[in-house]
Structure 1
Amino acid sequence: MKLQYTLVPALAGRAFAGPVQSRAVSAAPVIAQMFQWSWDSVAQECTTFLGPAGYSYVQVSPAQEHPQGDEWSAEYQVVSYNITSKHGNRAQYANMISTCHKAGVKVIADTLFNHMSGPYSGTAVGGSKFAAYSYPAVPFSNSNFHHCNNGHNDQIVNYSNATEVRFCELDTLSDLATESDYVRGKLAAYGNDLISLGIDGLRLDAAKHMPPADISNILSRLKKSLYITQEVASIQSDAVKPTDYAGIGSVQGFDYIGWFKDAFTDDSKGIWILQNLDKQGWVSSAKANVFVTNHDTERNGAAVTYRSPSNIYRNALVLSLAHSYGTPTVLSSYTFSQNTDGAPNGGKGDCTNNSGWLCQHRQMAGMVGFRNRVGTAALTKWVAPSSQRIAFARGALGFVIINNSDTQWNSTFATGMPKGTYCDISQVSSTSGVDSACTGVMQLVVDGSGNLKVTVPPRFSFAFHTGVKCTSSRCPTS
């Protein structure tokens, strides 16, 4: 959803050895948000890439029926809870979940409990009729919605008023009375229908606009415990606080987005401010679902994105996946001219050149392998000789160097890693990781004292871990 929130003030791959069998979720999971990919495309990508690369979850676009239209935002407006959308039908959705499970990837459904569509009428993608406050396919009628009577056509105008944020309309979208037992029952029935198809988690869009007690009640009616991540597009100083929702499940970190943008784009702050993200009074690391950008902030100027200059976006993704704070999501999206643009090629995912798809999830394959290798190891040996240069270890399992400055960085790093020659995996974008001789990637030599002497190019990163270590002249993965 397009959401309004306060910007953060300054300082405020493993190898592919064939089909992957079902596996346990990593102790340090990574989520791929396959924004606007069709169900058939997601199923194929789970098999050919997401599973082999080690992604634990794939987050897919909303599945419920929505108004017709090519704009990406159309599917964030609900007409009914029938599993049919421009991305595919119910059978295709079920097949996607089953296929991803076979590849070892769990599936998170992007869901909308807060609202229905805007104040217009028509016929939805599945044939259901609808009008303002009238959704006969559910059914919902006028009495099932909030009418906050604030003198502004029921629209939120004061984001400093938590009651208005939760009981008035967001962007003219019909705001459901989630305190109503009837509405709660309908939403829970939708959640249980997704569960019947095998879904593993829910992203709760616009959770900020619902009282936590309402969300808790709806989730208590589900037949299975799921991974829950909630979009609370606020920072901790706002009237509606992210920590208000941490008792329910994970919370998406919008403080984090602003800090990353400040750090990577403003030398007076710098990336050295990103060391102690777990000590800022935000949601605890165990409950934080973090990302450098998502589909909203990619469009509203609040984040580092694929349009950012000087390799900033890639370096920010490297840091996000290497850092110990939170559960990271990697947005996989597409180029756009207008903020409303829907996906290219009718949503059929395509990672070949010039397809329009950016496929960031593939670009970060090496770092997903890094995160899976280091697991929950502590972040140690942090060094930051200047605001835009940092290096750190994850226990004795991995080491990362990020040079976000315009000049090369010559230094000797005390890595704490075992002696050996390692392959830099920060640029790896293949499920096969690196070949048996580190061809095409930097070889990093750590001496018997755990020291690495290296020159880091401007606007560049190095990352290596004990899973990709050379022996003699060869570098087998393990």
Structure 2
Amino acid sequence: MSHLRARTTVLVGALAVLAACSGPSEPAVTQTRDVGVQLFQWTWDAVATECTEALGPAGYAWVLTGPPQEHIVGEQWWTAYQPVSHRVESRLGTREQYAAMVETCHEAGVDVWADAVVNHMTGQDAPGTGWAGSPYAHYEYPGLYSEADFHHCGLTPNDDIALYQDAHQVQTCELVNLADLATGTAHVRATVVAYLEDLLSLGVDGFRIDAAKHMAPQDVAAIVAELPEGTGIAQEVIRGSGEPVTPEQYVGNGKVYEFAYGRELQGVLAGAPGRALELGTSSQVLPTDDAVVFVDNHDTERNGSTLSYADAEQYALANVLMLAGTYGTPAVYSGYAFSDRDAGPPQDADGRVLDASCREAGPRVDLADGDWVCQHRWTPIAGMVGWRNVVGDAPMVDAWSDGDAVAVGRGERGLVVVNLGDEPLDTTLSTSLPDGRYCDVLGLPVAAGEACPGAAIRVEDGSVAVVVPPLSAQAFHVAARP
């Protein structure tokens, strides 16, 4: 089974959006897309607009939406991760809006993946009514599940996970009181598969399996085996030091998020930036073909285990280095500003999330709570998505580092220079780029044939002089030549 449908290849000429600096005499360039983006808590209407206005033109291959199912009522972000039913009706939009969003994104060349919450239901002890009016109790969900469909592990006083060194607790006890589905039973599996098939009927291309670590690998395998060939799968399995449940146990089901990547990236940027491009070469992480990598996500930006938007330019440059490398399938994150880690996105008086707006997209330190950060639109990040599409599978070459500066080439197709320091970088580098002039694709695009909008370089006999301002990056590729 192919677990990453989002990797697509297109043939573009010199006038393509991602090669806006190219002259009309440039040859066609084959571009391969693999970069995803998580639009955290974006409404379906806003995702649709963003696919057309930004994601497709920038070259993103796939977008991860929030959980589509009905959830508990509340303002916090995590209410979306407490399912009440499998109705596609949430504070992010209706079933009709979701289907329309998928169609719009496909027209823009962007695949759609859904965040699938199938390990558990709610964590509410008192009965209640969900967003779309469905009644529920902690272990009773009319038409879906009843008491017998849940684990009651009996290993801890309150049935909650207490010891992550015990695999049985991790996979049969409750995660912070969330009613844990017995995914080893035929009824639960069939019900989960029916929900995922319903989303596929709306055009969804793949799934992020939320909390996959808390399901036995064979249970996930049994569910995935019932899905159509080519359904994309990416599993959330948080790597913990010395824990018996590991990401490696899940690779037979599809790709797995490698949490160690973002944690290690934060560490090396603080002390040895040159090592950033070596991440992924260790036996302590997943093989590249199995890994989804990220600088941060909605959990890690809240627990502080990785960099986040609050790190501004350093965060942007971390994304540049991720996209410059060859390890894993990269996923960019895009959320909203917060000071309370439980705070939900901007909502109206009825609790419906307001459509995201990206009026000001770039590293900023003056963000107010609820402002949409729009990291996926930041010039260095969006520009690197297009750069990565052009360099494709070209190998890393001409790697160089000196203090806070890092440079790397990708075969004869591209070169990236990153300056994490507080002083300008003025140096001469070796490069495998063919001789000639190149535009910095992290600058603003211009019409074909015009001068570069920002920095430009000239490659002569495998050598190039670069001047990179502090806390910034420049990137050049063969499809962006004046």
Does the alignment reach a TM-score above 0.5? yes
How far, CA to CA, are the matches of 2:421 and 2:168 in structure 1? Answer: 44
Give the TM-score taking structure 2 as reference length. Answer: 0.88
**Equivalent of residue 258 in structure 1, options 250, 259, 263:** 263
Counterpart check, 1:125 vs 2:123:
no
Aligned to 1:4: none
Aligned to 2:299: 296
Contact 1:425 1:434 (C-alpha < 8 Å) held by counterparts: no
How far, CA to CA, are the matches of 1:433 and 1:94 in structure 2? Answer: 35
**Greater Cα offset, 222-231 or 392-401:** 222-231
**Equivalent of residue 477 in structure 2, options 441, 452, 465:** 465
**Equivalent of residue 284 in structure 1, options 277, 282, 287:** 287
Displacement of 1:225: 2.8
Displacement of 1:461: 1.3
Distance 1:426 1:16, change over 3 A: closer
How far, CA to CA, are the matches of 1:296 and 1:433 in structure 2? Answer: 37
Contact 2:32 2:390 (C-alpha < 8 Å) held by counterparts: no
How far, CA to CA, are the matches of 2:425 and 2:230 in structure 1? Answer: 48
Structure 2, gaps ≥5 residues long: 1-16, 22-29, 348-352, 361-366
**Greater Cα offset, 279-288 or 314-323:** 279-288
Aligned to 1:384: 401
How far, CA to CA, are the matches of 2:36 and 2:92 in structure 1? Answer: 20
Counterpart check, 1:410 vs 2:417:
no
How far, CA to CA, are the matches of 1:344 and 1:425 in structure 2? Answer: 33
Displacement of 1:283: 1.1
Structure 1, gaps ≥5 residues long: 1-12, 18-24, 471-478
How far, CA to CA, are the matches of 2:446 and 2:332 in structure 1? Answer: 18
Distance 1:111 1:374, change over 3 A: same
**Equivalent of residue 366 in structure 1, options 378, 383, 391:** 383
Aligned to 1:243: 248
Q: CA-to-partner distance for each residue in 1:298-339, whole Å, 9 max, x for gaps? A: 111001111115x10010011111111111111111111211
How far, CA to CA, are the matches of 2:442 and 2:323 in structure 1? Answer: 10
Q: Which amino acid aligns with 2:464?
A: L
Give the TM-score taking structure 1 as reference length. Answer: 0.88
How far, CA to CA, are the matches of 2:37 and 2:451 in structure 1? Answer: 26
Q: CA-to-partner distance for each residue in 1:103-137, whole Å, 9 max, x for gaps? A: 11110000011110103321111100111111114
| Identical residues among aligned pairs (%) | 41
Displacement of 1:242: 1.0
**Greater Cα offset, 44-53 or 187-196:** 44-53
Q: Secondary structure at the match of 2:310?
A: coil
Q: Which amino acid aligns with 1:395?
A: G
**Equivalent of residue 315 in structure 1, options 303, 314, 317:** 317
Counterpart check, 1:456 vs 2:482:
no
**Greater Cα offset, 97-106 or 399-408:** 399-408
Displacement of 1:224: 4.3
Coordinate RMSD, CA, aligned: 1.9
Q: Secondary structure at the match of 1:217?
A: helix
Q: Which amino acid aligns with 2:400?
A: V
Aligned to 2:179: 174
Q: Which amino acid aligns with 2:329?
A: T
Aligned to 1:474: none
Displacement of 1:427: 4.7
Contact 2:19 2:479 (C-alpha < 8 Å) held by counterparts: no
Q: CA-to-partner distance for each residue in 1:317-370, whole Å, 9 max, x for gaps? A: 111111111111111111112111222252301111378111111112211110
How far, CA to CA, are the matches of 2:405 and 2:240 in structure 1? Answer: 26
Displacement of 1:238: 2.8
* Off by >6 Å, runs of 4+ in structure 1: none
Displacement of 1:290: 0.6
How far, CA to CA, are the matches of 1:201 and 1:433 in structure 2? Answer: 35
Distance 1:69 1:283, change over 3 A: same
Distance 1:235 1:442, change over 3 A: farther
Q: How does 1:38-53 map to 2 (within 5 A)?
A: 38-53=43-58
Displacement of 1:277: 2.6
Q: Which amino acid aligns with 1:356?
A: D
How many residues are aligned here? 441
